[in-house]
Amino acid sequence: MKRTYHLKQRAEGQNATRQKIIKATIELHQSKGLAATTISDIAGRAKVGKVTVYRHFPNETALVSACSGQYFERHPLPDPDNWRDIPGASDRLRRGLRDTYAYHLATEPMMNRILAEARDHPLMAPYHAHWRGAVKVLEEPWPSAARSSPCLKAALALALSFDTWYLLARTQCLSNDQAIDMMLQLVQNCAPGAA
């Protein structure tokens, strides 16, 4: 019985150490960026030795994978299936952009760093796939002539993009509502046959 207790305690301690390393890494990636973060930085922030970091994460891929998984678990992407209940194309787009821009605002420090440094990193593939799926959900209620236009898909992808939101909200100082109105107008101009 005593051995089982000690094994459980040890496992809990290892998990706590692993979580400290992940938390430290996420904080450093958000503040310094992926490329500038070193194992020494991570060990220092987590208050563990470098050997301990390597014991839990033998390579950068394992560490970044654990961090991105936990980050997206704590900051879930907006669910485009929630938009399917809205039948009108413009109303669905407005709701989708409202959810998307709220997400971009909440994750701005991390996405600003990570997209600048690791946009094409394989670990970002699910992030990009999510937004491609969101485009498909947003294009569903548009008339068939509009859905067959590559311009509509491009305008929807542009409207959902973190970079677009950042340009409009941060560089041009538009409110989210102003940015949404602008993107709605752009998409409608790219949708032949739309009412």
Q: Is CATH 1.20.1250.20 the classification given to domain 2-73?
A: no
Rg (CA), the chain: 21
Annotate 29-74 with three-state secondary structure.
HHHCCCCCCCHHHHHHHHCCCHHHHHHHCCCHHHHHHHHHHHHHHH
Q: 14 pLDDT exceeds 60?
A: yes
Q: 7 pLDDT exceeds 80?
A: no
Could you state, in order of their start, the residue ranges of all structural domains in the chain?
2-73, 75-189
Between CA 128 and CA 149 the distance in angstroms is: 21
Between CA 191 and CA 154 the distance in angstroms is: 11
pLDDT tens, position by position, 128-137: 999 999 999 9
pTM of the model: 0.83
Structure tokens at 122: 């394989």
Q: 179 pLDDT exceeds 90?
A: yes
pLDDT tens, position by position, 151-161: 999 999 999 99
Q: Can you spell out the DSSP letters for 84-109?
A: TT--SHHHHHHHHHHHHHHHHHHHHH
